[in-house]
Structure formats: structure tokens, C-alpha cells
């Protein structure tokens, strides 16, 4: 099942269950020029609700991580680090098990179908999605032969000159993000050339009356389709397009993605929330259900991360007003723990007590923002969700701790959050969680050739699907949780939403 299909199921589930309505040097980082000189004028503030709060200052973020890293290196030696290295090695071996299955049965195709041992392409031609998405994980794991072979294959075979309609969001986060990150890690300019070619072919998606992108764009003709979109697909583009601008010194990519983000933000409700559906031609909301899950999730993630990566002060302001509204209306201190549920974007009225595998990224975003208290409590809640059956469900009704949708698509978000929390707190609790996640994956999702999604986390029934994010994200965050801190310096990189690390090299 490709991401489009999985998102479609997710949206159907949400529709059914929702009520209708519904660093190194921070100072230097913040002084980086925003490529779009016009960007600062985009942002009329709507009300006092949107005033910036000061608790998440970037210098606090920097000082916290710097202080913790100092303590970190003292703890790095010793028995615990041996155990962690062994665990990192086990994750690496599982990556190789999975990658070898992909190579044997699906090489050159977008995805492996691990039960039938066949391949699956999203379009009429392959875009080498799994190799592009997985390449930087190989580099970080030190799998040099595999990485070199894969890089050569991509450089020689991948062509975006294809008469196919692609989903702008998915291709941006997986392919553009993957190519940019792997270019930065390897210095192979052919990857940057591919990224620039792809970026140019995606640009027509932004040619709507509002500047918010259409859902689909034809890579050869530039024709567009799909005017009904959502905040995640509109607002999760700036890390990739902005990085392309920085690396090519062409501001157009940054400007287009930034405008889309700001146009979306400017349509927030009077209480500062966004809905889960919007028409990019009229700018009118088609769903007023507000939450941090699928369809909205990474819009919030990118407000914070674009501020951190580019020092973009508009993104800083947008993040601060958004997190204030989320904590006021969407956060739910329930008897079962802290959750972020569903509310109406205009009234703040609670519409559903739903949280799921996708929402679990939010603890990591809170941790990155400096709000460790909420981050810890939310990850504790997510962990309860995982432990209901030993693998998390796609959707949980947290008021009853009852599973509302029982699939598991090999998603990474709960592990991503454990990685951030461990990085910032060094609390061994997050390593224990990592062991639980790893054991659950091996026990329930491993096949003789790879890993498989689950159609039912109660019966642990496998499904013939393995999305590329399993190699790009799930195993990468699990590896980084246990790998020595010097494997990746989180002060110098920002992960895109597909776990591709982007370094501030400009």
C-alpha cells in the first residue's frame, strides 16, 4: 500500500471518527539571511492570542542541548555505552536484513512487498523511492559499500523526465529531502543536480491563485491536479525547497514554499488553529477538525524546524503563536495522561479523543522546542498506546484506551520522539523504550526477507507492504537512539519530516 493509499485510509478513518466540523552557534544561526526579502511582510497578526510566548527561546534550546551534551560525553564511556553500541549494531543488522530483501526482490523499484516477495511502483515508472529514501541511513550506519553502490545506481538510473502525476508532498519529503541530505553527506554533485531538476519540475504545483500548492503535479508537463489539500501537504515543503535555494543560490524555491506556508497560516481561525482540509484555489477550509495528526502534523513541525534551520523569524512567530493555541485548545490532560486530541478550529470545542501513531511525532517536536515537560508526558502516553498490544495502533481513543483503527504501517514517530527525548534528557527510560520498540518490531513485523506492516495489531496479522520510510526513518531513529552521540550532531542538523538530516552548511 503506498503512502497515498495509507493516507487515504487514515483520512477515511478520521472522517469516520471525528465530529463533523471538525548548534553550535544559535546567534549566528538566527542572523542567517532569509532568502526571501519579501517574506517579512507576509504576516499580519490577528489577535492577542497570537502573541509570541518567550519560553521556547532559541538560545534556551541551544544552551540546554549544549549543557546536556557536555554531561553526555562524560557518560559516554562505560558499560552502558557498550550495551548501546551492541544494540545499535543489532538495529544495523536488521537494516541489512531488510535492505537485502529489497535488493533481492525489488531492486530498482519503489517498494518491496515483503510477503509476496514482489515489487511495487507508485507510478507507471519507478522513481527508485526506497533507494533514495534509504541512502542517508546507510551513510550514517557506515554501510559504505551499500551506500556507494546505491548512490551510483541512483546517479546513473534516476530520471525525473517522466509523464506522471506525482504527489508534491510525498515526493518532496522522500525524494527531494533524500537527495539533498545524501548530497550533503557524500558531496556527490550528481545528487544535487537531480534535486535541482526535481525541484524545477515540482515548482508548477505552486501556481494556484493562493500560492498554496496543488496536490499533484506532472513531472514532464507541469500540469496540476487536486485543489483540495491539507496543512501537512501545503506546509511541509520549506525545509527541502529552502535548502535547495541555499545550495543552488536560487531564491525561487524558498520563496514559493514560504509563501505557501504563510498563506496557510494566515487562514488560521480567530483562536489560532488550522483545520484538516482546505481548497487551494479559494483558500476556504473544507474541514474544521483541528489536531496534530495525519493531514496536519508536519505543518507544525516545519514552523519550528524552518526557524531553527534558516533562522526565519516569520517561522519563529508562526510556531510560537501556533504552539500556544495547540496547548490551550488541543492538548488534553485526561485521566489516562497528556494527549493532543481533536477540536473544532473555530470554537476549540472538543470533537474526539483520538490520538495515533502519526500524532506520536509531537513529543519529539515539543522536546526540540524546549518543552520537555509536555514532551515527556506525551511520550509516556504514546508508550502506553504502544504497550496495549505490543505494537501501536494507527488510531486510539484515549478516553477509553480502546483501539479505533488497528493497522500499523511500520511508522517511526514514537521512536523519533524517544530519540529526541533521549538526546535532550539522557534519561535511560528512552533507551528502555527503544528496546521495547525494537523487540516488538522483530517479534511481530519481521519476515524471512524483510519487515511487513500489520493490518491488525491485536492479531498481529501481517500485510504485504513496506513503505520506504521504514528504512529512511524507523530504523534510522532507532539506530541513532543507541549509536554514539558523535554519529550525528543534532546541534548542526535539522531532520526533515522523513528523517533526512539537513546540515546548515550555508
Residues with catalytic roles? 170, 297, 394, 413
**Rounded least distance, CB 441 to ligand DMJ, Å:** 14
Question: Which of residues 231 and 251 has its CB atom nearest to ligand DMJ in the complex?
Answer: 231
Question: Which of residues 188 and 240 has its CB atom nearest to ligand DMJ in the complex?
Answer: 240
**For residue 342, what is the enclosing H or E element?**
strand 342-344
Give the residue among 261, 355, 357 at the shortest CA–CA distance from 304: 261
At 95 the three-state DSSP class reads helix
Of 109, 411, 491, 500, the one binding ligand DMJ by CB under 6 A: 411
Q: Are 224 and 217 in contact (CB under 8 A)?
A: yes
Site track for ligand DMJ across 310-329, x = CB under 6 A: --------------------
Output the DSSP codes for 272-304: S---SEEETTT--EEE-EE-SSTTTHHHHHHHH
Task: Supply the Cα-derived Rg of the chain in whole angstroms.
Answer: 21
Q: Which of residues 472-491 bind ligand DMJ (CB under 6 A)?
A: 473
Q: Phi then psi for 485, rounded to 5 degrees?
A: -55, -30
- Helices then strands, counting H and E runs in the chain, come out as 20, 20
Q: CA 56 to CA 482: how far, in whole Å? A: 27
- Part of the chain binding ligand DMJ (CB under 6 A), chosen from 42-50, 99-107, 148-156, 410-418: 410-418
Question: Which of residues 231 and 412 has its CB atom nearest to ligand DMJ in the complex?
Answer: 412
- Part of the chain binding ligand DMJ (CB under 6 A), chosen from 8-16, 332-340, 398-406, 407-415: 407-415
Question: Which of residues 233 and 344 has its CB atom nearest to ligand DMJ in the complex?
Answer: 233
Of 34, 181, 210, 298, the one binding ligand DMJ by CB under 6 A: 298
Please count the other Cβ atoms lying within 10 Å of the Cβ belonging to residue 241. Answer: 24
Q: List, as own/partner pairs, every contact residues 430-433 make where C-beta atoms lie below 8 angstroms and the sequence separation is at least 24, other chains included.
A: 430/379, 430/481, 431/84, 431/87, 431/481, 431/482, 433/379, 433/383
Of 140, 243, 498, 504, the one binding ligand DMJ by CB under 6 A: 498
Question: Which of residues 233 and 371 has its CB atom nearest to ligand DMJ in the complex?
Answer: 233
- Part of the chain binding ligand DMJ (CB under 6 A), chosen from 189-197, 265-273, 318-326, 408-416: 408-416
Query: Which cell goes with 298?
Result: 508536519
**Rounded least distance, CB 10 to ligand DMJ, Å:** 9
Query: Which cell goes with 231?
Result: 496543512
Q: Which of residues 172-201 bind ligand DMJ (CB under 6 A)?
A: 173
Q: Is 497 in the site for ligand DMJ (CB under 6 A)?
A: yes
Q: Is 392 in the site for ligand DMJ (CB under 6 A)?
A: no
**Rounded least distance, CB 179 to ligand DMJ, Å:** 16
Q: CA 432 to CA 434: how far, in whole Å? A: 5
Site track for ligand DMJ across 430-449, x = CB under 6 A: --------------------
Amino acid at each position: 500500500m503506498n503512502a497515498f493509499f495509507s493516507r487515504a485510509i487514515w483520512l477515511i478513518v478520521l472522517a469516520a471518527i471525528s465530529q463533523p466540523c471538525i548548534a553550535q552557534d544559535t546567534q549566528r544561526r538566527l542572523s542567517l539571511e532569509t532568502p526571501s526579502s519579501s517574506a517579512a511582510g507576509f504576516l499580519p497578526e490577528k489577535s492577542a492570542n497570537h502573541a509570541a510566548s518567550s519560553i521556547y527561546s532559541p538560545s534556551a534550546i541551544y544552551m540546554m542541548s549544549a549543557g546536556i551534551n557536555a554531561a553526555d560525553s562524560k557518560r559516554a564511556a562505560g558499560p552502558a555505552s557498550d550495551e548501546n553500541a551492541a544494540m545499535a549494531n543489532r538495529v544495523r543488522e536488521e537494516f541489512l536484513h531488510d535492505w537485502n530483501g529489497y535488493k533481492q526482490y525489488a531492486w530498482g523499484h519503489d517498494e518491496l512487498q515483503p510477503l509476496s516477495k514482489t515489487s511495487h511502483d507508485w507510478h507507471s515508472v519507478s522513481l527508485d523511492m526506497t533507494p533514495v529514501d534509504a541512502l542517508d541511513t546507510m551513510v550514517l550506519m557506515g554501510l559504505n559499500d551499500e551506500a556507494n553502490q546505491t548512490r551510483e545506481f541512483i546517479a546513473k538510473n534516476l530520471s525525473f523526465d517522466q509523464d506522471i502525476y506525482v504527489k508534491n508532498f510525498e515526493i518532496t519529503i522522500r525524494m527531494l529531502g533524500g537527495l539533498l541530505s545524501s548530497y550533503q553527506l557524500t558531496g556527490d554533485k550528481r545528487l544535487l543536480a537531480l534535486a535541482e531538476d526535481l525541484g524545477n519540475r515540482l515548482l508548477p504545483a505552486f501556481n494556484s491563485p493562493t500560492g498554496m500548492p496543488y496536490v499533484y503535479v506532472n513531472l514532464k508537463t507541469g500540469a496540476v491536479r487536486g485543489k483540495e489539500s491539507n496543512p501537512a501537504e501545503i506546509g511541509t515543503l520549506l525545509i527541502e525547497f529552502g535548502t535547495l535555494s541555499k545550495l543552488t543560490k536560487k531564491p525561487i524555491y524558498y520563496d514559493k514554499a514560504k509563501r505557501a506556508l504563510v498563506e496557510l497560516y494566515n487562514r488560521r481561525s480567530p483562536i489560532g488553529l488550522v483545520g484538516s482540509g482546505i481548497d487551494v484555489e479559494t483558500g476556504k477550509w473544507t474541514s474544521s477538525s483541528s489536531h496534530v495528526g495525519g493531514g496536519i502534523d508536519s505543518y507544525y513541525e516545519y514552523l519550528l524546524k524552518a526557524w531553527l534551520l534558516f533562522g526565519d523569524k516569520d517561522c519563529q512567530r508562526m510556531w510560537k503563536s501556533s504552539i500556544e493555541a495547540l496547548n490551550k485548545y488541543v492538548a488534553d490532560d485526561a485521566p489516562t495522561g497528556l494527549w493532543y486530541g481533536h477540536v473544532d478550529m473555530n470554537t476549540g470545542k472538543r470533537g474526539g479523543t483520538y490520538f495515533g501513531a502519526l500524532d506520536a511525532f509531537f513529543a519529539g517536536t515539543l522536546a526540540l522546542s524546549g518543552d520537555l515537560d509536555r514532551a515527556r508526558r506525551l511520550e509516556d502516553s504514546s508508550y502506553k498506546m504502544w504497550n496495549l498490544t505490543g505494537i501501536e495502533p494507527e488510531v486510539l481513543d484515549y478516553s477509553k484506551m480502546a483501539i479505533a483503527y488497528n493497522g500499523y504501517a511500520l511508522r517511526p514517530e514514537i521512536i523519533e520522539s524517544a530519540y529526541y527525548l533521549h538526546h535532550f534528557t539522557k534519561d535511560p527510560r528512552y533507551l528502555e523504550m527503544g528496546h521495547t520498540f525494537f523487540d516488538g518490531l522483530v517479534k511481530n513485523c519481521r519476515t524471512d526477507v524483510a519487515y511487513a506492516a500489520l493490518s491488525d495489531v491485536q492479531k498481529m496479522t501481517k500485510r504485504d507492504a513496506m513503505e520506504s520510510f521504514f528504512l529512511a526513518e524507523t530504523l534510522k531513529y532507532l539506530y541513532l537512539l543507541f549509536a554514539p552521540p558523535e554519529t550525528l550532531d543534532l546541534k548542526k542538523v535539522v531532520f526533515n519530516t522523513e528523517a533526512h538530516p539537513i546540515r546548515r552548511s550555508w
